[in-house]
């Protein structure tokens, strides 16, 4: 039986194109079906609408499809309130939350791990506080504006509402308004600032990246500054200008300063020494600081805000052992 389903656009759904809203609302529907429905079976405020029509808060989207089809194509709301919390909160307000990701935790799920992820933990935390209700939200859930590799620790920004998430994501993607800083320990005596600019090309099958000017390579820019150096090792600060996969690790390795413990781009001999001395088996890389400037719109109050996160205990222990502080 064909029925008429009315969906009222709430604040977190507004500002989207109709086709993008439909893709999220009916997550299991193929794209061809979405566009066919928009042409024949969807109205906005009682009128036909184009796929690129922008939805406003209070708009009414009417779908003329069977109740069985709605159930088949939509995804039930996921209750994540019971997810075990492994992250720390560095900063939180009504619009954003900056969390500290521990080593070993995925930001998003992959083929092997879909449940125990940072995204699920943060959504569960906000759900438990009553700030996120998946049964009410139609297409929005809190999400990160940046990501870190599984074994990289540190700060990740989440938007609690759609507008904040859009502003954060745009700022980070375009490298404006949010400056991102990391610390790591590398092999070699690093004694002056270095700006590294190159093309990076990812091998999807091997999940590795190489420096190259081949077709398809994406420009990556990394600024590296010395903090201290001693006995053949250096503590450095990195300002990430672009955010390519494994960018810091491959850039420093290419310049002769591999991260200690890095199994993909590190020095095998040094890695064996670090493993024997400190039981270090992964890269020692920590996203420790975020600086905001001239944030627009809803997040303008963050202008001048600096969020920091101390490195984890294993990082501090190795740093103190190598450099005496």
pLDDT tens, position by position, 231-240: 999 999 999 9
Report how far residue 135's alpha carbon sits from residue 125's, in angstroms, rounded to the nearest whole number. Answer: 15
Position 325 scores a pLDDT of 66
Position 112 scores a pLDDT of 66
Report how far residue 232's alpha carbon sits from residue 157's, in angstroms, rounded to the nearest whole number. Answer: 34
Average pLDDT over residues 299-319: 96
Position 66 scores a pLDDT of 78
Same fold for the pair 77-174 and 176-325: yes
Average pLDDT over residues 265-293: 96
Position 81 scores a pLDDT of 66
Report how far residue 154's alpha carbon sits from residue 98's, in angstroms, rounded to the nearest whole number. Answer: 10
At 40, give phi and psi (nearest 5°).
-120, -30
Here the tokens at position 258 are 């591999």
pLDDT of 113 higher than 70: no
Range name among 17-21, 31-35, 106-110, 120-124 with the lowest pLDDT average:
106-110
| Percentage of the chain exceeding pLDDT 70 | 95
Query: Is 2-73 a CATH 3.40.50.960 domain?
Result: no
Position 77 scores a pLDDT of 65
Position 110 scores a pLDDT of 64
Position 73 scores a pLDDT of 85
Give per-residue pLDDT as tens, 51-81: 999 999 999 999 988 777 877 888 766 667 6
Domain range list for the chain: 2-73, 77-174, 176-325
Query: Is 176-325 a CATH 3.30.2350.10 domain?
Result: yes
Regarding predicted confidence, which is higher, 91 or 108?
A: 91
Average pLDDT over residues 252-259: 96
Report how far residue 4's alpha carbon sits from residue 155's, in angstroms, rounded to the nearest whole number. Answer: 45
Report how far residue 118's alpha carbon sits from residue 144's, in angstroms, rounded to the nearest whole number. Answer: 9
pLDDT of 1 higher than 60: no
Average pLDDT over residues 92-97: 97
Angle between helices 313-323 and 268-278 (to 10 degrees): 100
Mean pLDDT score of the chain, rounded to an integer? Answer: 91
Position 79 scores a pLDDT of 67
Report how far residue 231's alpha carbon sits from residue 253's, in angstroms, rounded to the nearest whole number. Answer: 19
Q: Which CATH number fits domain 77-174: 3.40.718.10, 3.90.1200.10, 3.30.2350.10, 2.60.40.1180?
A: 3.30.2350.10
């Amino acid at each position: 039986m064909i029925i008429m389903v009315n969906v009222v656009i709430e604040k977190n759904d507004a500002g989207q194109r109709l086709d993008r809203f439909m893709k999220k609302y009916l997550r299991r529907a193929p794209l061809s079906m979405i566009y066919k429905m928009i042409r024949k079976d969807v109205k906005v405020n009682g009128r036909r609408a184009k796929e690129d029509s922008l939805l406003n808060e209070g708009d009414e989207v009417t779908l003329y499809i069977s109740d069985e089809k709605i159930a088949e194509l939509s995804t039930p709301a996921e209750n994540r309130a019971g997810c075990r919390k492994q992250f720390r909160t560095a900063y939180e307000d009504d619009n954003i939350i900056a969390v500290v990701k521990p080593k070993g935790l995925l930001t998003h799920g992959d083929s092997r791990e879909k449940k125990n992820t940072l995204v699920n933990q943060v959504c569960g935390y906000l759900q438990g506080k009553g700030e996120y209700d998946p049964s009410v939200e139609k297409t929005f859930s809190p999400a990160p504006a940046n990501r870190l590799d599984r074994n990289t620790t540190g700060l990740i920004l989440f938007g609690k509402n759609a507008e904040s998430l859009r502003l954060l994501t745009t700022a980070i993607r375009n490298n404006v308004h949010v400056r991102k800083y990391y610390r790591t320990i590398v092999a070699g005596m690093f004694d002056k600032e270095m700006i590294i600019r190159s093309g990076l090309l990812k091998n999807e099958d091997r999940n590795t990246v190489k420096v190259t000017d081949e077709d398809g390579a994406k420009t990556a820019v990394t600024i590296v500054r010395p903090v201290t150096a001693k006995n053949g090792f250096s503590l450095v600060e990195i300002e990430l200008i672009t955010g390519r996969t494994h960018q810091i690790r491959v850039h420093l390795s290419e310049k002769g300063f591999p991260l200690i413990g890095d199994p993909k781009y590190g020095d095998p001999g040094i890695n064996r020494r670090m493993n024997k001395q400190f039981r270090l088996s992964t890269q020692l890389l920590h996203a420790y600081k975020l600086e905001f400037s001239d944030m627009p719109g809803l997040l303008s109050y963050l202008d001048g805000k600096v969020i920091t996160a101390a490195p984890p205990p294993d990082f501090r222990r190795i740093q103190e052992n190598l450099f005496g502080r």
